[in-house]
Structure 1
Amino acid sequence: MELTRMKQDERSVKKGKGYEIKPSAVHERLYVVELEEEVITRFFEDVREISSQQLVYIPYMRFILTEKLLRLLDENFQKAVRAILHDRQTGGFTVGVNKQTTDPEDYVKFSTAFSHLVGIPNFDAMSGNYYARFSVKHTDTSDSYLRQAYRLFTLHTDGTYVDEATDWLLMMKFEEQQAVGGRSRLLHLDDWEELERFYQHPMASQRLIYKAPPSKNVVKEVFRTTFYEQNNEPCICFIDQFVHPENIAQATYLQELSRSMENSSATKGLELPAGELIMLNNRFWLHGREAFEENTGLHRELLRQRGRFA
């Protein structure tokens, strides 16, 4: 399959009331959504009385946040954001609060307003909530690479071990201290040089068992194929930690697939500043994390939401 990377000049800048959407300077497939400072200020003023506890206890309040954001923008904004995530050529964007706040409550509200622009988050069993907040620190005793700072977090898609659709992924950085390294790693499926080899392999359509470790609070086994099609395009479901092959042939295929993606020249690092989030189409974007440099004062806190399109 030929690579289909886009050049920045092939994508247009979109401007509307209170916002501008333009190609990212750090990845040729991503967009940057820039909200005017007045929009961000007014949004946080308008939602000041809504607490994160209300968002957890009263699901419709999550959509109220989105409605309050849309009031400050034009009628095309939601369509533009959805179009980016559905577009195979891009499928992702970043947006931030422009340093107007560092309050975690505000970050929860901001990320919730954006996630509910496009769909509904899945229940996150790890946190018992519609979102998860977790930290990466110097020491860790967890049972997955998610919190282990000094290991490479290999490329994967989210939602592999749950039995509901995981169309999109949102990650937002809350804070960071004494962190060197640890950039997000991204690979768009169509930029992977060996996609055709692994997509056409006999193992690509075999159903494999996915099981989560105890920390995920999910005990059900899920059967998934590594590749599947949507809109006549290949999509992928993969994470090396939770897939349980049943024979040497399956294990060899999975190891070679992971190594190929990790070694792809199209796998790129992305800095995500505190107060900024990234949304990706989880069906054709893979993500991971570089290892941090060792530091006893290391601390990073992230928020995750993932779910299905409306």
Structure 2
Amino acid sequence: MLRKLAGLVATLSATSFVIFGAAYAAPGDPVTFLAGGKENLTPAYLAQIRAQYHLDDPFLVQYLRWLGDAVTGDLGRSLQYNDQVADLLAARLPTTLGLVAYAAVLFTVFGVALGVLAAVRGGRTDSAVVAGTTFATSVPPFVVATALISLFGVQLGWFPVAGGGSLWHLTLPAVTLALGALAIVSRVTRQAMVEQRGLDHVTVARASGLAERSIVLRHVFRGALGPIVTMCGLVTAGMLAGTVTIETAFGLSGIGSLLVGAINTHDFPVTQAVLLLMVAAYIAVTTVVELVQPVIDPRARRRA
């Protein structure tokens, strides 16, 4: 545990350095936004603003100050909204987390079900699932979003097409976000199930006269659960960054749309905070998956 904790701290520290350095090297001077876009700014006034916000300090000093404040929960003040970045994240994070959770339920339930169906039935069912998942992964999310909005939002009027944070509002965005992940999870489930069906203990169980349903649930699916859980966790962790396109397309006020607005307006404190949050969430989810893996699969515990 100490080794894992040290690795997490080192990864977050390196990531924070890269994020701060990228924003520091990005084109555009934050002094212009801090000055309120005024014209004919005197060099003395610009120097005063730089000194006030410590922008004239060396890069390493600025980074250490920002990192120290971030550790204590102070993520700075937004240049665009003139509000604390932590408050902006707290207001928008529930929408993004709700969207990711909704999409995770969809792709886990339907992805695993399709993978199991393809592995057990085989034949035309397997071919149909493989063809459908291949098509799903080849369609970009913004195309899926446009199609769903046009069909279910505009023509049929079944779902709202913009705004809101209720479950009904999040249905179309969650389906859009889950579609590509569903294809990945179904493929992994199918492959893991096929591999497990060919193992000796499954052959022995079948030869002993156990019902096929019991063999699939107790031996095949249970043995394939490790790779399935791992992939579901990895896909869920990466979804936080994938909400950028979805939230923009559906007009949701989440951290994805906040990041887009911050990048467009050179709002460096918000950009840095959102990126750091996405990386921290990814690391946290993957760590949980890694800790759960030995509980699901005793073979992983023996390897550890």
Bigger RCO of structures 1 and 2 (CA < 8 A, at least 6 apart): 1
What TM-score range do you get, normalising by the shorter chain?
Answer: under 0.3
The TM-score with structure 2 as length reference comes to 0.21
More strand by share: 1
More helix by share: 2
Structure having the higher Rg: 2
